[in-house]
Amino acid sequence: MSIINRTAIAVSALALAAAPAAFAKGGPPSNPGGDHGNGGNPPAAQHGKGHAKPKKVVAKGTVVSYDATTGTLVVHVGRASHPGKSMVGTDVSFDVSKARITAADSNNDGKIDASDLAVGDKVVVQTTNVAGTDGRYTAKHVVDQTHPKSSDSSGSTDSTDSTDQQTTQS
């Protein structure tokens, strides 16, 4: 046999041996090299029933409006963590009815809630990247950076009282 015939036989044998391995996962991948071992399935199909797993998002922006009757806070998002990159540059509605609010009592009603947030305030909102059926994202925590929660004033009063006591004892 000549060298060419031996090479042709060797190449044919390798091709026949590799063919069953290529079709073992249902045929050649539709996206060769790009499926990263998931069988060519899109990422959403990898999570149980076809739903994408919610990711935590931290969004920073300014308050556009607040509707107390529906508990909706609209924020113009200027920055967001990676899973929330689609929010950047848009006005996003957040359901803050069950959110924890960290802010100063701006309206002096004795309680800290979303009504203490004013239009134009800079806020940080913690949420997920999955919106509800009404198009609002459910906020977990809202922090007002324009009017931050004031520190406990009793600590500073105690320090001045102790100073006063020291001066009166002298």
Domain borders along the chain are 3-44, 56-144
Model pTM score: 0.59
For residue 159, the Cα-to-chain-centroid distance in whole angstroms is: 41
Average pLDDT over every residue of 111-121 = 90
8 Å CB contact between 65 and 119: yes
pLDDT one-digit tens code per residue, 47-70:
556 677 889 999 999 999 999 999
CATH number assigned to the domain covering 56-144: 2.40.50.320
What pLDDT score was predicted for residue 13?
73
What is the rounded CA–CA span in Å between residue 114 and residue 52?
A: 30
pLDDT one-digit tens code per residue, 12-38:
777 767 666 655 655 555 655 555 555
Sheet holding 91-95, edge to edge: 100-102, 141-144, 122-128, 56-67, 72-80, 91-95, 137-138
